[in-house]
Amino acid sequence: MVMMATASPHIFRPALCLGLRAALVVALAFGGAATVTAQGYPTKTITMIVPFGAGGSSDAIARIVGENMSRLLGNSIIIENDGGAGGTTATLRAAQAQPDGYTVLIGNMGTHGSAPSQYPNLKYNPARDFTPIGLSAGVPLVLIVRKDFPVSDLKGFIAYLRDNPGKLTEGHAGVGSQTHAMCTMLFSLVDGKPARVAYRSTGAAVNDIIGSQIDFACAALTGVSSQIQAVSVKALAIASPARSAVIPEVPTTTEAGLPEYQASAWNALFAPKGLAADIQAKLNKTLVASTEDPATRKRLLDIGAELPPKEQLSPQGLQTLVETETARWASVLGNARTEK
């Protein structure tokens, strides 16, 4: 079952055979003294850390994938939201957890790609301090504004942003997060200078866009597709090569006149460094089976996610992606300091 560590948890309950229940009782009674191996794993609840508050893109993907992984593993998974510092606080905590397979992390392009270039003193290394499990979903980026924003296309937005330096407010999930990095990239291309407001999750920022407390955000589509469809916010452009089937009316950035703005995010499963190879393999096999499950695939596609390419489903594929992304975002962002 997936149990959400939130005020109103939604609990999923897979069937457990009596033998597994008995094994769990024995394991707890002896304090888990025996060496953890894939043969007996898992015998207790797994915590899946989402390093952002509830309601954002990473949270949505974690809940969908975590539910099916829980069913396949025959054991509970708790989704624990812990936002702050662009996701880096909880990511560090995950890196420092015991490498026994009972603490895993949904990292993303921010925590494992752009964060090092925004935090020179970051206390974890994305490529060295984790055991990669596999990619869970790709995530297109979309530029959204409040529904009463005075312009309705990307060219008009850019002109308005340039003409009103410091007056527009942009919301993001913290310095170093993927939403922060994506907008930083946009501002460097169009010479934009808005006021920037940090939140514990993109979901919280989107709520303030809906309420017209702030003006816009560079959001992952999976976290805002329903709000776009409900016309609670306006989507101006999607930063991908092709339009999304979820919001087909929204033009690409190329169609909207800014072809150099191409950016997408991703989410992936990690464990602390030192995880046993057989547990890593079991978690990867379970993750891959989950993303290939027709019902799970549909749920991911329905919120605008992109299914991972096969080469990035493996631990080594994810490791290569992390190394490539940290280098790419260091080149894009450098060590530029931006205000929170």
User: pLDDT band at 337, cuts 50/70/90?
Assistant: very low
Peptide bond into 42 cis (omega under 30): yes
Predicted confidence at residue 308, as pLDDT, reads 84
pLDDT (0 to 100) of residue 72: 96
| Coil vs helix vs strand at 148 | coil
Question: Taking Cα atoms as reference points, which of 51, 54, 50, 56 lies closest to residue 219?
Answer: 56
Q: For residues 184 and 18, is the Cβ–Cβ distance under 8 A? A: no
- Distance CA(191)–CA(219), nearest Å, equals 19
Ranges for all domains in the chain classified under CATH 3.40.190.10: 140-238
User: Residue 8, class by beta-carbon neighbours within 10 Å (0-12 exposed, 13-18 middle, 19+ buried)?
Assistant: exposed
Residues of the chain with CATH 3.40.190.150: 2-138+266-333
- The domain 2-138+266-333 is placed in CATH, from the list 3.40.50.300, 3.40.190.150, 1.10.10.60, 3.40.50.720, at 3.40.190.150
Q: Which of 185-194, 206-215, 309-318 has the lowest mean pLDDT?
A: 309-318
Return d(Cα 20, Cα 14) in angstroms, integer. Answer: 12
Give the residues across from 145 on adjacent strands: 216, 234
pLDDT of residue 19 exceeding 80, the answer is: no
- CATH number attached to the domain at 140-238: 3.40.190.10
Taking the C-alpha atoms of residue 146 and residue 159, their distance in angstroms, rounded to an integer, is 17
Residue 311 has a pLDDT of 79
Provide the token pair at 141.
């980026």
